[in-house]
Chain A
Amino acid sequence: MPVDTAVRPVRILVAKVGLDGHDRGVKVVARALRDAGFEVIYTGLRQTPEMVVDAALQEDAQVIGLSIHSGAHMTLFPAVVQELKRRKATDIVVFGGGIIPEDDIVALKKKGVAELFTPGTPLQEIVDWLRKRFPQGGN
């Protein structure tokens, strides 16, 4: 009998790491991702890299999306990438957004962050990037 495995929405864990509380952007992105058919797990403010990765593992999320407006991105993004390494989960894709200068974006991508979106990026661009990255839905 032919089996069709159910098409599975991509699961994205979205959070704010560090002390910064500006959550307008992350909430708007969460809604847009939901409207685009993703399953979004929002874990809120003041997350540590350990909390984010642990939650992503329990949720079997394929993607982690982080929002950082405080200038602490050069510490916090690599910390998440490092924690994924420690938990042997480097298949999880990390992306993010916030107040991040161009030079830092280049540096962070070298450190394993897949993509960074700066202020003014249309939501559709983020959605398109994710869809391109995960064409079949879940892996």
Chain B
Amino acid sequence: MKVRARDAREVWKEDFESSPSRDDGIETSTISGIPLKPLYTADDLPKRDEEMPGLFPYTRGIHPGGYRGRLWTMRQFSGFATAEETNKRYKYLLANGQTGLSVAFDMPTLMGQDSDAPTSRGEIGHCGVAIDSLADMETLFDGIPLGEITTSMTINSPAAILLCMYIAVAEKQGVPASALGGTLQNDILKEFIAQKEFIFPPEPSMRLVVDSIEYCAQEVPKWNTISISGYHIREAGSTAAQELAFTLADGMAYVDACIERGMRIDDFASRLSFFFDAHIDFFEEIAKFRAARRIWARWMRDRYGAQDERSLKLRFHTQTAGVSLTAQQPELNIARTAIEALAAVLGGTQSLHTNAMDEVLALPTDKAARLALRTQQLLAYETGVANTIDPLGGSYFVEALTDEIERQAEVYFKRIEELGGVIPAIEASFFQKEIADSAFKYQQELEQKRRLMVGVNEFTVDDEEPMEILRIDPKLEGEQVARVQNVRRTRDQARCTKALAALRKAAEGTDNLMPHILESVRAYATEGEIMNTLIEVFGIYTEKAVI
């Protein structure tokens, strides 16, 4: 039948309004609350010059060739129990096709405590690998050539210490620091905002971060000094726009701090990297990634006057959303993770971690970990999505959504500026309150079934089958305690004492602390000893909790 002379859109509108509608409560907004239209058309395409991949503002990707030149790095975060166990898992993953390492540390290590500290009891090895000294680090990377792989280390307050340990291990392998590639999370601002693994107050914490950025610019130039993170902010309950805005605002706070130190933007900006969540609302996530690149490029060029192209290109790692996984019917998590990973790939991530299906219950078993990796390989090699650059570019919906998230982020930037910047906003509990409110709102939506979670508040089963999960052998705790005490007994104590004294003096002054930390590490000072030395000078931070 020929369509009449009337606009096709009008016809569609009539047809749509008289067509049946599902009665299951269609959601008319994204999981973050961005309102959705039933249909997007060419009218929704923002009016602008055509954007191209590899060209400012990089909405369509930072590389002209997308994934056609190189796939994203398959970088599975892992670590548990002892360095020896984790070393085995790394070799297993590398043999199975993982292309970069990513280290998860246990709680005491993340919090700068030795395994034999009283508050470490019961906490050793559960959520990552226990590293007390250089000796453990040597075991962790035994037989793994640091000159040939890249490693990401997820650690924040004590990040500088772990980086120095990595450098010292490489030294022993004969690999110079200048050849080392990898990433240090080192994002202390999001600790105050979301993950709460802070130790020192904000000012000395920022000093340490800037010290590490400054040091690496000279000595470890291939290293990504910081992974400015939105993942934890999102997992704490924020919306996608909040994740985007708070993360980029943190990024700018670090840039400001480095410039205040006297560095030039193009000397360090290219080594800043980012880390985002890939949540379950598919298109919203893709839009978020694209908006992130555009916003960052604009701010770097227009606000900071960066001239090197590499300073403008936002590079990011993605992890699929832990918080979207369920303990009920956990096999379904494989599907969730696959969809989230797809969003990350269509959003142009540089590296990706896919969660294992059993991660709501425990650290992954070998089998689950391998399946997670295979999911990425499926995307890369079977689906064809990596063969065209930014395949969703030009989609009326995705482009409109990209613009909308960008707009919402800009509103947040203004509010943060009005509060005086990121650190004053942290002390005013601004971020924490926004996140707590979003988290509570989402939970209420779930409780009222305005949002569904399959297996949890709908499509439940009564008899869940128990899953086989990874258990950390409790006797490993005692072994680790013995190990760190042995290190203290057998090291060159004079060298260690001297190094820690020099570190303390430097902390009281303004010297870059990295060389002093490196020397302490070489002298087998334990992580806890180094942290305690710094705590003596910097103090400990207590947060002002808001519910």
A residues engaging B (CB < 8 A)? 18-24, 27-28, 30-32, 42, 44-45, 48, 70-72, 74-76, 79, 99, 101-102, 118-120, 122-124
Additional A-B contact list (5), CB under 8 Å, known A45-B543, A72-B123? A19-B119, A22-B196, A28-B237, A42-B545, A44-B543
Cβ-neighbour of B361 out of A20, A75, A101 (below 8 A): A101
- Are B235 and A24 in contact (CB-based, < 8 A)? yes
Q: Report which B residues bind A (CB closer than 8 A).
A: 107-108, 110-111, 113, 119-123, 126-127, 191, 195-197, 235-237, 323, 326-328, 360-363, 435-436, 439-440, 443, 446-447, 453, 455-457, 466, 469, 472, 474, 543, 545, 547
Contact of B196 among A45, A48, A124 (CB under 8 A): A45
A122 surroundings in chain B (CB, below 8 A): 446-447, 457
Contact, CB under 8 Å: B547 / A31? yes
**B440 x A45 contact (CB < 8 A):** no
Question: In the assembly, what is the distance between CA of A31 and CA of B361, in Å?
Answer: 25
Cβ–Cβ < 8 Å partners of B545 in chain A: 23, 42, 44-45
Instruction: Please name all residues of chain B whose beta carbon is closer than 8 Å to the beta carbon of A75 when the two chains form the complex.
Output: 121-123
Would A22 and B123 count as touching, CB distance under 8 A?
no
Task: Identify which of B123, B323, B328, B547 contacts A30 (C-beta below 8 A).
Answer: B547
Residue with the greatest number of chain B CB neighbours at <10 A, chosen from A42, A45, A71, A101 = A71
CB distance from B61 to the nearest CB of A (A): 32
Asked whether A119 lies within 8 Å of B360 as measured between CB atoms, the reply is yes
> Across the interface, do A27 and B547 meet the contact criterion of CB distance under 8 Å?
yes
A27 shortest CB reach to chain B, Å: 5
How far, in angstroms, from A45 to B546 measured CA to CA in the complex? Answer: 12
A71 to B126, CA, bound (A): 5
- Residue in A28, A44, A76, A102 whose Cβ sees the most chain B Cβ within 10 Å: A28
Is B126 touching A119 in the complex (CB atoms < 8 A)?
A: no
Interface centre among B235, B435, B439 (most CB of A within 10 A): B439
User: With A and B bound together, what is the CA distance between A101 and B469 in angstroms?
Assistant: 8
For the complex formed, measure the closest distance between the CB of A36 and the CB atoms of chain B, giving whole angstroms.
Answer: 12
Q: For A101, what are the chain B residues with a Cβ–Cβ distance below 8 Å?
A: 361-362, 469
The answer to whether B237 and A24 touch across the interface, beta carbons within 8 angstroms, is yes
In angstroms, how far is the closest chain B Cβ from the Cβ of A74? 7
